[in-house]
Amino acid sequence: AQSVTQLGSHVSVSEGALVLLRCNYSSSVPPYLFWYVQYPNQGLQLLLKYTSAATLVKGINGFEAEFKKSETSFHLTKPSAHMSDAAEYFCAVSKGGTSYGKLTFGQGTILTVHP
């Protein structure tokens, strides 16, 4: 069975500050990991994904994440927060192969950005 834990249901940062959203996973098989962003009343948009290639993954809007197998983590970072980054962020894991769309999601982290 797979599971995802996002540490911190709410994270608040100042504009221009570092954004760090934490995600830890458990998986019995090599995982495929995703970060999605959800803006208010919108669907989910893919930020970035790890599918067993480079462990440091760069995504859209300046976000990146590093897959650390030894720590079973896939934390999301952005060097400088922008007001437009305010949204809810979801970490998700799948088994890959024919199961890429069968995602197990974390609980979500709401990011607030203060001026």
Partner 1 sequence: NAGVTQTPKFQVLKTGQSMTLQCAQDMNHNSMYWYRQDPGMGLRLIYYSASEGTTDKGEVPNGYNVSRLNKREFSLRLESAAPSQTSVYFCASLGQGVTEAFFGQGTRLTVV
Q: Which of residues 36-55 bind partner 1 (CB under 8 A)?
A: 36, 41-46, 49, 51
Q: Is 90 in the site for partner 1 (CB under 8 A)?
A: yes
Q: Is 87 in the site for partner 1 (CB under 8 A)?
A: no
Q: Is 14 in the site for partner 1 (CB under 8 A)?
A: no
Q: Is 115 in the site for partner 1 (CB under 8 A)?
A: no
Sign of the alpha-carbon torsion through 21, 57, 78, 47: negative
We find the least distance from the C-beta atom of residue 106 to partner 1, in angstroms, to be 5
We find the least distance from the C-beta atom of residue 81 to partner 1, in angstroms, to be 23
C-alpha span between 32 and 69 (Å, rounded): 12
We find the least distance from the C-beta atom of residue 48 to partner 1, in angstroms, to be 9
Q: Which of residues 19-38 bind partner 1 (CB under 8 A)?
A: 32, 34, 36
Nearest to 35 by CA among 99, 89, 104, 115: 89
Q: Is 59 in the site for partner 1 (CB under 8 A)?
A: no
C-alpha span between 59 and 76 (Å, rounded): 10
Query: Which residue stretch of 11-19, 66-74, 75-83, 88-96 sits at the interface with partner 1 (rule: CB under 8 A)?
Result: 88-96
Which DSSP string do the residues of 3-44 spell out, in sequence order?
EEEEE-SEEEEETTS-EEEEEEEE-SS--EEEEEEE-TT--E
Local structure of 100: helix, strand or coil: coil
